Amino acid sequence: MLVKQKGIIIKTIDYGESDKIITILNEHGAKVPLMARRAKKNKSGLQANTQLFVYGLFIFSRWKGMGTLNSVDVIEQNYDLRLDIYESSYASLCVETIDRSLEDDEVSEYSYKLLSFALDKMREGVSAQLMSVVILLKCMPRFGFNAIFDHCAVTGSTTQADLVGYSFKFDGAISQQALPEDPHALRLSNKTLYLLYMLQSLPIDKMNGLSIHQEIVDEMSDLVIMLYREYAGMFFKSQKLINQLRRLDTDLK
């Protein structure tokens, strides 16, 4: 049976000398694995069109199990994301999070909308690191946990200016008054906690003009990745490259 579906490539795996297995997240929010024959060969016409982040109309044959890719009508290559290794690593974190948040037979239209939104914002110039924070925040419930950023987990105070860090002991933001209860709390600016709360609670269709200072983005990124490691036991494959790049950047400074 010949199938035509729009989708975004979220995973690619080399298979043998010339083939590749790709996984697309289709427009309905389902993961579809496809065998792309001779996709590693320049003359096949599929090499450039079966890269990570490609958005297009995928035409494939499918009966039972894995389908076989026939052709791709590319709508957006997202080529620039692959040119910048720093942006590419955080964009990879986005697709990896979406991929791991979905079971193989699960359908989530919101997951597709979330990834499409993130890639659109990246093309507009919003940093991939910031968009990875958004995706990590929005996907937390899918991994069985959440985080409190808008009030003190100890005193219940909602005065944002009093919040000075995040406590893994109390599973939430912590205020200056409650800090003696957890001296090992991760110290953060109240602006970081406020923006995390806003990005967590604001629907993606209400997010316009995303522009946040890099130091704040770094703080947010570090915290949400720590939350996934602490609460979901997750270490992302893309995180290894991110860590290497950040160490290199620190050494150069």
Residue at 108: amino acid letter = S
Span 89-108, mean pLDDT?
95
Of 93, 72, 82, 84, give the one whose Cα is nearest residue 10. Answer: 93
In the predicted model, is pLDDT for residue 165 greater than 90? yes
pTM of the model: 0.92
In the predicted model, is pLDDT for residue 247 greater than 80? no
CA–centroid distance for 129 within its chain: 9
Indicate the fold that domain 2-77 takes in CATH. OB fold (Dihydrolipoamide Acetyltransferase, E2P) (2.40.50)
Helix axes 85-101, 128-139, angle to 10 degrees: 10
> If you compute the radius of gyration of the chain from its CA atoms, what whole number of angstroms results?
20
Q: Please write the tens of the pLDDT for every residue from 196-227.
A: 999 999 999 999 878 899 999 999 999 999 99
The pLDDT value given to residue 41: 77
Span 45-64, mean pLDDT?
90
In the predicted model, is pLDDT for residue 58 greater than 60? yes
The pLDDT value given to residue 252: 59
Span 27-37, mean pLDDT?
95
